Structure 1
Amino acid sequence: MPHIKTLTVLGTGVLGSQIAFQAAFHGFAVTAYDIDDAALDKARARFAHLAGIYRAQVTGASEGQAEAALDKLSLSADLGAAVADADLVIEAVPELLELKRDMYRKLADLAPARTIFATNSSTLLPSDLKDSTGRPDRFLAIHYANNIWAQNIAEVMGTAETDPAVFDAVVEFARNSGLEPIEIKKEKAGYVLNSLLVPLLNAAAGLLLQGVASPETIDKTWRIATGAPSGPFQIFDVVGLGTAYNISASSPDAGSRAFAQYLKENYIDQGKLGVATGEGFYTY
């Protein structure tokens, strides 16, 4: 079974930065890649913010563990250099099929032959991407929940071509990263988590577009009636309205596309992307 010691994360947005920091927090050497220095400056701020969260919220953490994680993180805007020594590359770029395929075509030429590729896509199947990787036997999906330090699952899902030893190595990596591996036995759009979550979010979007109730009322109803800590529009803000827009805009469902247009006109065009920007459906 391959042994994973070094990780590269492609994309330092909300979840990409969490994936990188979680692994570094548990002792992995991590390189975080993004497209330019401006993106990396934002990543440094996210990592510093995450260090504070981990110090305050992760029980059982040793003194200085969050600071040690920052020392294990390196940042790069050079894709070749970022993946040159990677045992595992986790791709966390925007949910756009051709963008991801293009990234894998580049990776195929740049990464060592031993490197395992994994997508963190929440909506695309690994089969949608495997032919672009040049190594379908060393490719699969690993999907994380947001607020990874608390909602600490990692859903691992391969294709029919994924080497079982590669699958097992990624499961072990997840476990060694302080996560609970969720082994998916067959490809399923949405994995387990989003197969349960997305219908809730779609229903909430439909209620809003139909004028049935406000986001605050919909969220309050869900929280009180189910005991859940967050309502669907609070979840949208955490996930990021840019991600919600990309997923909705690419859907064949007319209602989803209408929600994408609503998000663009009322939030995205005003720079309101959710928790990451301090304002979305709510102000933070």
Structure 2
Amino acid sequence: MTDITNVTVFGTGVLGSQIIMQAAYHGKTVTGYDISDDLLAELPDRWEWMRGYYRRDLADFDEAKFDAAIGSIRTTTDIAEAVADADLVIEAIPENLDLKKQVWAQIGAHAPEKTIFTTNTSTLRPSDFAADTGRPEKFLALHFANLVWRYNTGEVMVTPQTDKKYFDAVLEFAGEIGLVAVPIHKETPGYLLNSLLVPWLNAGAALYVNGVANPADIDNVWRTATNSPHGPFQVFDTVGFNVAANISRASGDPTRIKFADMLQKGIDAGKAGLGDGQGFYRYDSEGNVVEPVEDWNLD
């Protein structure tokens, strides 16, 4: 059992809120930080959205335990308050290197000496902003998959400067909050999961952007020919358009940037994936596909 009891999560969006609940549901004392009270005010709706999925996906789901988790979660817009007693910080803010550098410098300036630092970055190299924390030997990556309670991998990845004892501690912590801890001994952008997943998603996006086929047809051929449960555009819905658009824009690739601009239309309409009940597909209250959204079809 680790000494990691007090956990602070930076970023309360689609994945950040799931990380908060995952840790709180497994008995950790969790503080969620975000930049505005308006963003924090969205969390009660996220808890109720998650409740339905926890109930559906977890055979041993405990309603009272979920309620207790909600009641235990603290939130703040003050960085110093957020990290005042943190044993572990998990950063889940947008995939922007300059923003991560800025936020980590502030976290490092306010966190107590005991705090271990982790990033959930999906595509950036943690070592590119490790120095900004002020304690790179205590800094590493802890990467979560979307729908954390169901797809419960916890990829724990070192940087060249990470002290092994903190690597071991975070691996154990991952197990304590219900994750399958996956050790990654050498830093690589994308970890194991995204190193496999992102090229596949990009291939699907390119077929659509280049006018080859509609999203639902691309998904259908993949599911039928491979017996996989989901095609790439269903995965884009699960990941959420905001995350996918940020990663695509940061790539610098013209095709991926065009795809990000297409996703932005869904974001602006408030239909940015499974969490909104609609993305490339419409979903029922339990997250099952109802039908493809024809507005995404090619002309």
% identical equivalent positions: 51
Which secondary structure state, in structure 2, belongs to the residue aligned with residue 108 of structure 1? helix
Q: Which residue of 2 aligns with 1:32?
A: 32
Q: Which amino acid aligns with 1:19?
A: I
**Could you state the TM-score of these two structures normalised by the residue count of structure 2?**
0.90
Q: Which residue of 2 aligns with 1:65?
A: 65
Q: Which residue of 2 aligns with 1:232?
A: 232
Q: Unpaired runs of 5+ in structure 1?
A: none
Which secondary structure state, in structure 2, belongs to the residue aligned with residue 280 of structure 1? coil
Q: Which residue of 2 aligns with 1:155?
A: 155
CA contact (8 A) 1:55 1:66 kept: no
**Residue 63 of structure 1: CA displacement?**
5.3
CA contact (8 A) 1:27 1:72 kept: no
Once structures 1 and 2 are overlaid, which stretch shifts more, 136-145 or 266-275?
Answer: 266-275
Q: Deviations over 1:113-135 (max 9, x none)?
A: 11111110000111111011101
**Residue 268 of structure 1: CA displacement?**
3.0
Q: Which residue of 2 aligns with 1:273?
A: 272
Q: Which residue of 2 aligns with 1:241?
A: 241
Which secondary structure state, in structure 2, belongs to the residue aligned with residue 283 of structure 1? strand
**Residue 45 of structure 1: CA displacement?**
1.5
Which secondary structure state, in structure 1, belongs to the residue aligned with residue 118 of structure 2? strand
Q: Which amino acid aligns with 1:271?
A: G
CA contact (8 A) 2:11 2:92 kept: yes
Q: Deviations over 1:67-108 (max 9, x none)?
A: 121122111122211111110000001111111111001111
Q: Which amino acid aligns with 2:70?
A: L
Q: Which amino acid aligns with 1:210?
A: N
Q: Which residue of 2 aligns with 1:207?
A: 207
Give the number of equivalent residue pairs.
Answer: 283
**Residue 31 of structure 1: CA displacement?**
0.7
Q: Structure 1's 109 and 102: CA in aligned 2 closer, same or farther, altered over 3 A? A: same
Which secondary structure state, in structure 1, belongs to the residue aligned with residue 251 of structure 2? coil
Q: Which amino acid aligns with 1:118?
A: T
CA contact (8 A) 1:9 1:89 kept: yes
Q: Which residue of 2 aligns with 1:282?
A: 281
Which secondary structure state, in structure 1, belongs to the residue aligned with residue 41 of structure 2? helix
Q: Which residue of 1 aligns with 2:291?
A: none
Measure the CA separation in 1 of the matches of 2:177 and 2:2: 16
Q: Which amino acid aligns with 2:216?
A: E
Q: Which amino acid aligns with 2:276?
A: T
Q: Which residue of 2 aligns with 1:142?
A: 142
Q: Unpaired runs of 5+ in structure 2?
A: 284-299
CA contact (8 A) 1:244 1:260 kept: yes
Superposed, 1:182-221 pairs within 5 Å as 182-221=182-221
Once structures 1 and 2 are overlaid, which stretch shifts more, 188-197 or 269-278?
Answer: 269-278
Q: Deviations over 1:167-198 (max 9, x none)?
A: 11100000000110110010111100001100
Which secondary structure state, in structure 1, belongs to the residue aligned with residue 212 of structure 2? coil
Which secondary structure state, in structure 1, belongs to the residue aligned with residue 42 of structure 2? helix
Once structures 1 and 2 are overlaid, which stretch shifts more, 140-149 or 68-77?
Answer: 68-77
**Residue 164 of structure 1: CA displacement?**
0.5
CA contact (8 A) 2:7 2:88 kept: yes
Measure the CA separation in 1 of the matches of 2:66 and 2:270: 31
CA contact (8 A) 1:116 1:139 kept: yes
**Could you state the TM-score of these two structures normalised by the residue count of structure 1?**
0.95
**Residue 269 of structure 1: CA displacement?**
3.5
Superposed, 1:252-267 pairs within 5 Å as 252-264=252-264, 266-267=265-266
Superposed, 1:164-175 pairs within 5 Å as 164-175=164-175
**Residue 139 of structure 1: CA displacement?**
0.4
CA contact (8 A) 1:8 1:82 kept: yes
Measure the CA separation in 1 of the matches of 2:267 and 2:47: 24
CA contact (8 A) 1:85 1:112 kept: yes
Measure the CA separation in 2 of the matches of 1:174 and 1:86: 16
